[in-house]
Amino acid sequence: MIKSHFVRLLFPLGFLFLANCSENVATAPDLDLIDVKPYTIEVLVPFADFVQEVNIVGGYGSSSDLGSGVVAKDFNGFSAKTIVRFNPYPESVELGGSTSGLKFIGGRVVLAFDSVQGPTGEAIGLQLSATQQAWDSKTVTWEVAVDTVDDKTSWVQPGAGSSVLVGSGDLDSHLAGDSVKSFASISIDVDSATVAAWGGEGSYSQGMVVASTDPATRLNLWDAQLVLKAIPLINADTIVEIPIPVSALSFMVDPMPTNPGGWLRVGGLPAWRSIITMKLPEQVKGSVEICGDSGCLFDVSKSQLNLAELILTTRETEAGFKPTTPLAIQIRSVLSPSSLPKSPLGDPIGLQQGVLVQPKFFDNEEGEQIFFSLTDLLGFSDGDSPRTFTSNTFALLSSDEGSSLDFASFQGSDNSGFPVLRLILTVPKQGISP
């Protein structure tokens, strides 16, 4: 697990914007829809006045969970390779009503891609290499081949660079272009020695690495298959083809995303979550419209909460991890903060499916404000006795965690786009003096 911390106390107390009020209880997120009348107000609580702690936690899941791969070479500084292991080979085949043993004489690897980014109208060179080290699909990274309880072994050369070249070819890049979604495939021949090396049942080290030879390209590998060429021992004049599916697939990226410092990250693979511990202030400063010229403080606990929203501001995501499709982001309660990063989570707060954010807001249109409902988490009503607010810990996470390498980025405590808590309150009477 990877952690990053940043805490509060970066802005002075007292930044509260108070709008005029409405005859109706405010439930719409857009104040332009609210008729103005005293006692219904908007309060914008700054980061330092409600956030107690923020943890950015990574490492949920593995690249192998995705079921597809990524291949890239210097795509805006981002590179990736996909590593594959195939199922054991069959020992025999049914032919003409008889069972025959097999002699494998070679084969071909078929790769299917569902997304290509890079120069338009140019062929993209691909290489297949045979691994020479043991590797673990659940823990493999650009630097490390195995990272388990019993073994931690680095690659002799980063990115499985010691692997032996066994085949190459050019992918027709007529699909190339920014985020174009379609399908393209390529078949690359491999010899009998390679086929034999990949055929050991239960072999921990056998495997294939798929890499690009052309810079400024990125491809999503949707499927891989080894098609064996074999001669049945009972009929040496016949050649049969036998498809062998993948048993393990993962990918390695370079560089890994940096540990967030002073900002928030959500999603990716392995996935990141932003954990926020917050506490409402007990009193806030009233406006002239509410308190008159003398000013006042009023107890938040004696107000009716109509709406609570966390406002986050998007920032540009690092190259190679920028979303190409909309990301849905949920807020869930952390049920056991002391158990983090493995704490169970509660049901989604607000929209069950999460808030859908367009990819452009993590690229050239960064700086967009995104609203997440916290009303159900912070709900309270007016009463005769002041209420003491407790801390609440919640997680921002991808609604479809583990389904994409892409992640969302939001400004944090070190930027003018810091998180803000927006409250729509109905004040039962004029401000209460402290």
In tens, the pLDDT along 73-109 reads 999 889 999 999 999 899 888 877 788 889 999 999 9
Quickly state the pLDDT bin for 26 (edges 50, 70, 90).
Answer: very low
Tell me the average pLDDT across 119-148: 89
324 versus 347: the higher-pLDDT residue is 347
Give percent of the chain with pLDDT exceeding 70: 79
Per-residue pLDDT band for 1 (boundaries 50, 70, 90) equals: low
pLDDT band at 287 (very low <50, low <70, confident <90, very high): low
Is the model's pLDDT at 314 over the cut of 60?
yes
CA distance 58 to 51: 20
Q: What's the rounded Cα separation, in Å, for the pair 168 and 189?
A: 8
Q: Comparing C-alpha atoms, which of 275, 256, 332, 337 is closest to residue 56?
A: 275
81: enclosing H helix or E strand: strand 78-86
**Residue entry with tokens 């594959």:** 84
Asked whether the predicted pLDDT for residue 149 surpasses 90, the reply is: no
Are 212 and 111 contacting, i.e. CB atoms less than 8 angstroms apart? no
Contacts of 432 (CB under 8 A, 6+ apart): 296, 297, 298, 299, 302
pLDDT band at 2 (very low <50, low <70, confident <90, very high): low
* pLDDT at site 57: 93
**For residues 228 and 262, what is the distance between their CA atoms, to the nearest angstrom?**
52
For residue 305, what pLDDT is reported? Answer: 84
Residue 55 pairs in a beta bridge with 5, 275
**Is 2 or 367 the better-scoring residue by pLDDT?**
367
Tokens of 275: 């954990």
First-to-last CA distance in the chain?
45
Return the minimum-mean-pLDDT range out of 12-16, 295-299, 352-356: 12-16
Give the Cα separation of 146 and 131 in Å (integer).
Answer: 13
Strand partners, 372: 310
d(CA 251, CA 63): 6
Distance CA 214, CA 70 (A): 14
Q: What is the pLDDT of residue 202?
A: 54
Question: Whose structure tokens read 């009463």?
Answer: 383
pLDDT at position 141 is: 94
pLDDT band for 201, please (50, 70, 90 cuts). Answer: low
Residue 255: how many CB atoms within 10 A of its CB?
12
pLDDT score at 259: 82
Percent of the chain with pLDDT over 90: 49
Give tens-digit pLDDT for 37-48: 447 788 888 888
| DSSP classification of residue 378 | H
Pairwise pLDDT comparison (180 vs 292), residue with the higher score: 292
Mean pLDDT of 166-175: 82
The amino acid present at 230, given as its one-letter code, is: A
User: Six-digit token pair at 210?
Assistant: 């798929």
Please compute the mean of the pLDDT values over residues 405-411 and round it to a whole number: 94
**Quick one: pLDDT at residue 115?**
78
